């Protein structure tokens, strides 16, 4: 390890961003109340490479947005580490360092209207970001750069003079991406960017995200509860439940043949997958226990396949082929299937 906490591996060997056992807890209760701790995220490991769209999926309350806010340095981790291009971010303290990082990693929020200042024209957020994060762009050049990023997200440059209320929801969300793109980030954290948009215009925003990856070289962490849109746009999928990463891997591998019972449950709720997904009618619908949780799998109360070990040992992500699965039953089944495959006899030639 280096003096700053970084490992000796070179930056070239590193993914764009990675986390090591990233954890965030929130204390609950007043001064005289019994102390309780909400485990929003526990031991979360994520990697995102350059020019990659990674979808982080899960139901509301699973901890997806908390992960994004830790990556954006809005919430400090309770424990764990975040590395950006090999640099340990936990020690970023100065305003200069934070401005540098927020120029590299930008965020797009769920509500496109509340994310824009209604008092100013939509050009204000773009030019302000340019002034903060790209001081090399002169004041007389900011207008041209604002026009460029507007066109990159599919908006006419004339729209720079509009106020937020004069634009549709889809247009406002594109403005949010333009504000992020103005700083020329390497990574955009997109927190449910299409959940508040009409179904008819969601595909346009998803196509725009793909274009940003291909044409601008931007990686995207796409946070969503919509598996259909994740399948449409993402290279890899990470499935999160009650603060834990339960399954991750290539999109078609995860959504085409899910191994974790929770991923199967999510797929069974997608209308287009109901005929293909395995029914898990044993789901009781009991909410996850994330306040002072006990050891064990947090999905076990809803899982029809739970065994005794599930209530005793918290499963860790384990490789199964090209994926990782945090499930005792799925890992045992994969090991049994592997042991049952006959090996070819070794012959002398």
- H-type alpha helices, 72-223: 95-104, 123-133, 139-152, 169-181, 199-211
Please give the Cα distance from 71 to 65 (Å, whole number).
10
Please give the pLDDT value at position 14.
80
Nearest to 201 by CA among 228, 235, 171, 179: 171
Q: Say if residue 154's pLDDT is above 80.
A: yes
The secondary structure of residue 313, as a DSSP letter, is: S
Please give the Cα distance from 171 to 154 (Å, whole number).
9
Q: Per residue in 94-149, pLDDT tens?
A: 888 888 898 899 999 888 778 788 899 999 999 998 888 888 888 888 999 999 99
Please give the pLDDT value at position 269.
77
Q: What pLDDT band is residue 91 in, cutting at 50, 70 and 90?
A: confident
Please give the Cα distance from 55 to 225 (Å, whole number).
9
Question: Edge-to-edge, what's the strand order for the sheet holding 318-320?
Answer: 105-108, 187-191, 219-224, 53-57, 236-241, 244-250, 323-325, 318-320
Please give the Cα distance from 172 to 63 (Å, whole number).
26
Report the chain's mean pLDDT, rounded to a whole number: 86
Q: Say if residue 2's pLDDT is above 80.
A: no
Burial label for 175, CB within 10 Å (0-12, 13-18, 19+), is: buried
Please give the pLDDT value at position 3.
38
Least confident of 72-76, 94-98, 148-152, 206-210: 94-98
Please give the Cα distance from 146 to 143 (Å, whole number).
5
Is residue 95 classed as helix, strand or coil in its secondary structure? Answer: helix
Please give the Cα distance from 113 to 199 (Å, whole number).
18
Give the torsion sign (CA, 175, 176, 182, 186). Answer: negative
Is residue 46 classed as helix, strand or coil in its secondary structure? Answer: coil
Q: What pLDDT band is residue 272 in, cutting at 50, 70 and 90?
A: very low
For the residues of 272-299, what is the DSSP string, one character each? GGTTTSPP-TT---PPP--BSPPSS-TT
Q: Per residue in 276-315, pLDDT tens?
A: 444 444 455 677 889 999 999 999 999 999 999 999 999 9
Q: What percent of the chain has pLDDT over 70?
A: 88
The secondary structure of residue 214, as a DSSP letter, is: I
Contacts of 215 (CB under 8 A, 6+ apart): 152
Please give the Cα distance from 225 to 266 (Å, whole number).
9
Contacts of 139 (CB under 8 A, 6+ apart): 131
Tokens linked to 189? 């954290």
Please give the Cα distance from 99 to 43 (Å, whole number).
27
Please give the Cα distance from 194 to 202 (Å, whole number).
6
Kindly report the backbone phi and psi dihedral angles of residue 320, in degrees, each rounded to the nearest multiple of 5, phi listed first.
Answer: -135, 100
């Amino acid at each position: 390890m280096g003096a700053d906490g970084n490992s000796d591996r070179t930056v070239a060997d590193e993914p764009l961003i990675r986390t090591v056992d990233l954890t965030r807890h929130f204390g609950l209760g007043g001064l005289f109340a019994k102390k309780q701790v909400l485990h929003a995220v526990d031991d979360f490991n994520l990697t995102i490479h350059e020019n990659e769209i990674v979808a982080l999926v899960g139901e509301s309350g699973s901890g997806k947005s908390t992960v994004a806010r830790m990556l954006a340095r809005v919430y400090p981790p309770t424990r764990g580490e975040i590395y950006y291009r090999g640099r340990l971010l936990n020690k970023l303290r100065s305003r200069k360092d934070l401005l540098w990082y927020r120029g590299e990693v930008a965020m797009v929020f769920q509500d496109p209207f509340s994310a824009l200042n209604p008092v100013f024209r939509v050009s204000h957020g773009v030019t302000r970001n340019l002034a903060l994060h790209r001081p090399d762009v002169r004041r007389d050049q900011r207008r041209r750069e604002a026009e460029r990023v507007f066109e990159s997200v599919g908006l006419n440059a004339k729209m720079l003079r509009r106020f937020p209320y004069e634009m549709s929801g889809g247009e406002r969300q594109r403005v949010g991406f333009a504000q992020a793109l103005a700083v020329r980030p390497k990574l955009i954290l997109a927190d449910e960017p299409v959940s508040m948009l009409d179904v008819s215009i969601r595909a346009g925003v998803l196509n725009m995200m793909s274009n940003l990856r291909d044409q601008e070289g931007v990686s995207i962490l796409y946070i969503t509860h919509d598996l259909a849109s994740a399948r449409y746009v993402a290279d890899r999928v990470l499935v999160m439940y009650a603060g834990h990463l339960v399954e991750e891997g290539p999109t078609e591998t995860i959504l085409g043949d899910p191994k974790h019972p929770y991923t199967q449950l999510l797929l069974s709720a997608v209308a287009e997958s109901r005929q293909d997904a395995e029914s898990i009618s044993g789901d009781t619908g009991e909410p996850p226990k994330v306040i002072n949780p006990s050891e064990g799998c947090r999905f076990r109360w809803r899982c029809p396949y739970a065994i005794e070990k599930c209530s005793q040992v918290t499963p860790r992500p384990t490789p199964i082929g090209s994926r990782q699965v945090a499930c005792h039953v799925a890992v045992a089944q994969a090991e049994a299937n592997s042991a049952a495959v006959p090996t070819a006899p070794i012959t002398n030639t």
